[in-house]
Homo-oligomer: A and B are copies of this chain.
Amino acid sequence: MNLITFEADDLIAPNTLVLRDRRLQHLLGVHKAQVGDSLKVGELGGLMGHGELIALTSDEATLRICLDTPPPAKRDVILVLALPRPKMLKRILQMVVTLGVSELVLINSYRVEKSFWQSPWLSEAAMAEQLRLGLEQAGDTVAPRVSLRPRFKPFVEDDLPALMQGRDGWVAHPVLRQAGATGQPGDITTAPTQRLAPSAAPTLLAIGPEGGFIAYEVEKLQAAGLQCCDLGPRILRVETAVAVALGQLLP
């Protein structure tokens, strides 16, 4: 927890914050905080600053806070991600926050197991909790928007064109190398793929499931204006692919 996040409910006076839950346990157990310490705090959706710990018991911590710093600006990046398995989704939600994307769209794909869409980790409350842990890791107060698109074709035909307005679009899909590796005649193109370059331009980045998008899906994404890009000769786990691609795009 590099930043203690709070909501209006946690304030007992305009500049006085009281913590009683896991944040208190973290202060006691990990930070080994003591009265007089100055800690980074931030209001969810609002400003960040410092809090001076003015009282501490095993039941509650009281901080006098001063908020003076806006959260870091989001990157104008929409990440379109085939729904990962629930265990990985938790880590990816936190990671996506630390990488500063403005919007995450979780979509279906042929190789996404249907059961993933039934996961309790997809509830609004469960995702909000993971996003908040990400904010506390990142030192940020504004979570990316997250939306679910459990049907691929309606997403790509009806929603994607609007999302792509004014954006560069990329799909991480190693066309040439995959063709070489599998030797399947159905592989869709021989156009060389490109490495992502640093860019501050508005961008949409699509990353497939374990095993990749199928050819039909890549064709539909290409038809919507996305270009293929390549993350190297080895097969990455989804969470590694997300960090590599967003790292390469970082201006």
Contact = CB atoms under 8 A, between A and B. Distances in A.
Interface of A: 2, 72-73, 94-95, 97-100, 137-140, 181, 195, 198, 231-237, 239-240, 243-248, 250-251
A237 B137 contact: yes
Given A195-B198, A198-B195, A244-B244, A98 B236 contact: yes
Contacts of A236: 98-99, 137-138
A65 to B, nearest CB: 16
Nearest to A139: B235
Contacts of A137: 235-237
Q: Interface SS of chain A: helix, strand, loop or mixed?
A: loop
Contact of A232 (B97, B100, B195): B100
Contacts of A248: 247-248, 250
Contacts of A240: 95, 98-99, 243
A140 to B, nearest CB: 6
Nearest to A243: B243
Nearest to A140: B234
